[in-house]
Structure 1
Amino acid sequence: MERLAVGGWDALPPGVRLAGGHLHDVRRIVFSGVVLIAKRVACGPAWPGRVHRLEQGEEVARLAAAEGLSAVPAYLVDRSPVIEVPGGAVLLFPDIPGEPPQAQSKGPDTADCHWAGRTLAGLHRLPMPPACAAEGALWPVTPPDHWPALLAAAPDLAGEADLLALWSRRYTEAHPRLSSTVAVGHGDFAPRNVLVSGASRRIVDWEHAGPVEPSTEFAVVALDWSRTPDGQVDADAFAAVLDGYVAAAPGQERPSPVGLVGRAGRLMAWTRFNLAQAAEHGPHPFLERAQLALAELRLQLDNETTWTDWYRVPTRPGPNVLINQ
């Protein structure tokens, strides 16, 4: 580990680059005779608070694992999951076998969706770790009239200013209600961050874990898990996520459709981040990511009435899938 701390990422064996990770380098390596997953995370002045966020996310992962919620936390090295190296930080994980539950060519599986809902409810019931207590659960509001200047880095997207301004107004109106509830969450509980091997399901990538607004995270998760190969949303799969969530927490408040507006706030924050990165570092790959976020905002606007109605459908019993599988 001294070699890693001094030499940084290059001190590790090159290994095999793995798919996934919008912002990071993730590799399978053999280190001291052990197969590990190594993740390099950018840190430094451009990423204020990143090391703290990583430590916070891993604290949530360890808490979730202790509660049987299938988490895969990073190894502790000198009592910390984060190894600070020149230009960033490194986390080391066990090499967990498996693949994401949804193949690109297949539609969502309702058993997987029911499990996702049950697991999310379990996460939202976890006690708030002390390190997370001061963290906010929502993304900041961008004033509607700020979008034209922010879009200056992307002239081809200038026509989306009205869409962003509309969602900014909606998010501003919903913000007080969304701010009234906070829970522990994963922050990116999508199929790509679950590894399935036989009957086993394991959740990875906890770097965004911490305080969340539960209805917002439910909306994000339900729409991620119920996505079809053509980019639409399957009603039965969405219902399965909702059924799983309610079944696992019958005394817990049902997710509210206002979480859809919270999801729009998340998409706007991601759009703004990528526009800023494009202005500083050039268009690729940041403008493509901004375009995808804008497409999601448009899809949600076009389907919001339908999706809101899905929240009101009576819940149904789902398959008997253990939450800690």
Structure 2
Amino acid sequence: MPAYFIEAGDPILRIGDTELLIYPNIPGTVLSTAEHAVDPGLCLRAGELLSRIHRMRLPRRPFVAAGETALWDTTVDVPWARLIRALRRRAGSRLTAVDAALLTHWSEAYAAVLPRLSRRVSVGHGDLAPRNVIVHEQGDAIIDWEHAGLTEPWTELAVLALDWSSDPGGQVRGPAFLAAVHGYVRNGSVGPPDADALVGRAGRLLAWSLYNAQLALRDTTGPHLQRVETTVQLLHVQAESMVELTEWFIQAS
């Protein structure tokens, strides 16, 4: 769903120091609820939508010129144990040394697969979660393109499959996960499937955790600490189900 052009082909509306994108109003249903997110039929459609985005001939040059990369930086050098101790002391975090060990484990795993995953690049949406898809009479509208840019396609698929197939407690529903991957593959995929993309998804969660942890140390009243703790829980769930997730990913591919 494109934004309106304000003037001279520029979609950005500037009001003082604020920059805005203005989109048409679309009557429909935003797929942001838990019951929508784990529906295999909708997950199948989500996978198809992502495949269509990846196969679009979108220019990469603007993103490359801006210095953008397809994946998130490794967090292997982050002192997670020290960071969590600081969060406990200064922000009242409930995270423990067990969580620090988990973050270290995922950081090392992500650093190991990053060189290989980085070889494949396409332009993606960046946040194709249920909250950013509107179902209306004419079909599906994808909104919130502010994170669009270079991506590793199979990693974005892993992120989508887990986002759409997880219940409110973070547990992954197998039929929904399989449907999301199958929808992507049957509509045409970019390159051969790679189950290491699941580790790439953990890399995204690590980057999000680090970003919010740094903010939580500066602002203990904001939502940042809760975001860190929620994300760490997702990493625990993924670690516990990694064997099954890998089997599903390969099976559906």
Aligned to 2:223: 285
Are the counterparts in 2 of residues 223 and 238 from structure 1 also a CA contact under 8 Å? yes
TM-score by length of 2: 0.88
Could you say if the C-alpha distance between residues 163 and 203 of structure 1 is closer, same or farther in structure 2, counting changes exceeding 3 Å? same
Q: CA deviation at 1:221?
A: 0.3
Aligned length: 243
How big is each residue's C-alpha offset from its partner over 1:285-319, in whole Å with a ceiling of 9 and x where there is no partner?
A: 1000111110111110000000000022256xxxx
Percent identity, please.
40
- Matches of 1:145 and 1:230, distance apart in 2: 27
**What TM-score comes out, normalization by structure 1 length?**
0.70
The one of 28, 49, 62 aligned to 1:131: 62
Higher relative contact order (CA 8 A, sep 6+): 2
In the alignment, what sits opposite 2:106?
A: 167
CA-CA distance at 1:149 after TM superposition: 3.6
Contact 2:37 2:164 in 1 (8 A): no
Determine if contact 1:105/1:229 at 8 Å carries over to the other structure: no
Report the CA distance between 1:144 and its aligned residue.
Answer: 4.4
What residue number does 2:83 align with? 150
**For 1:114, which of 21, 44, 51 is the aligned residue?**
44
In the TM superposition, what whole-angstrom CA distance separates every residue of 1:229-270 from its partner, at most 9, and x where no partner exists?
Answer: 4431111111111211111116x4243111111111100110
Q: Which runs of 5+ in 1 are unaligned?
A: 1-71, 316-325
Residue identity in the other structure for 2:74? V
Report the Cα offset of residue 85 of structure 1: 3.2
1:247 aligns with 2:181: no
How big is each residue's C-alpha offset from its partner over 1:49-105, in whole Å with a ceiling of 9 and x where there is no partner?
xxxxxxxxxxxxxxxxxxxxxxx1221112222223334322211111122236335
Q: Which structure's CA Rg is the greater one?
A: 1
Deviates more, 1:99-108 or 1:83-92: 99-108
Is 1:85 equivalent to 2:24 in the alignment?
no
Give the distance between the partners of 1:257 and 1:279, measured in 2 at CA: 35
Instruction: Describe how 1:1-325 pairs up with structure 2 within 5 A.
Output: 72-78=1-7, 79-101=9-31, 103-105=33-35, 108-129=38-59, 130-134=61-65, 135-155=68-88, 156=93, 157-159=95-97, 160-198=99-137, 200-249=139-188, 252-313=190-251
Provide structure 2 residue ranges, at least 5 long, that are not aligned to the other structure: none
Q: Is the 8 Å Cα contact of residues 102 and 108 (structure 1) preserved in structure 2? A: no
